[in-house]
Amino acid sequence: MHDGDDDVRLMLALRAGDESAFDELFARWSGPLLRYLERIVRDAASAEELVQETFLRLYRARERYQPDARFSTWLYTIATRLALNELRRPRHRSPHRSTDQEEDDGSVLVLASDTPRADDVAHARRVGDSVEQALATLPERQRVALWLSAVEGLSYAEVAASLETSEKSVKALVHRARCALAELIGGDER
All domains of the chain in start order, with CATH: 1-90 (1.10.1740.10), 119-190 (1.10.10.10)
pLDDT at res. 51: 96
Q: What is the pLDDT of residues 100-128, one digit of tens each?
A: 444 455 554 454 554 566 666 666 677 67
Q: What is the pLDDT of residues 124-142, one digit of tens each?
A: 677 677 777 888 888 989 9
pLDDT at res. 184: 82
pLDDT at res. 187: 61
Q: What is the pLDDT of residues 162-185, one digit of tens each?
A: 889 999 999 999 999 999 888 888
pLDDT at res. 1: 47
Q: What is the pTM of this model?
A: 0.59
* Chain Cα centroid distance, residue 67: 22
- Quick one: what percent of the chain has pLDDT higher than 90? 47
* Chain Cα centroid distance, residue 101: 20
Tell me the mean pLDDT in the region 64-81. Answer: 91
pLDDT at res. 20: 96
Sorting pLDDT into bands at 50, 70 and 90, what band is 153? confident
pLDDT at res. 89: 80
pLDDT at res. 47: 94
Q: What is the pLDDT of residues 16-54, one digit of tens each?
A: 999 999 999 999 999 999 999 998 998 999 999 999 999
Tell me the mean pLDDT in the region 67-71. Answer: 87
Spatial neighbors of 151 by CB under 8 A, at least 6 apart, are: 35, 36, 39
pLDDT at res. 116: 61
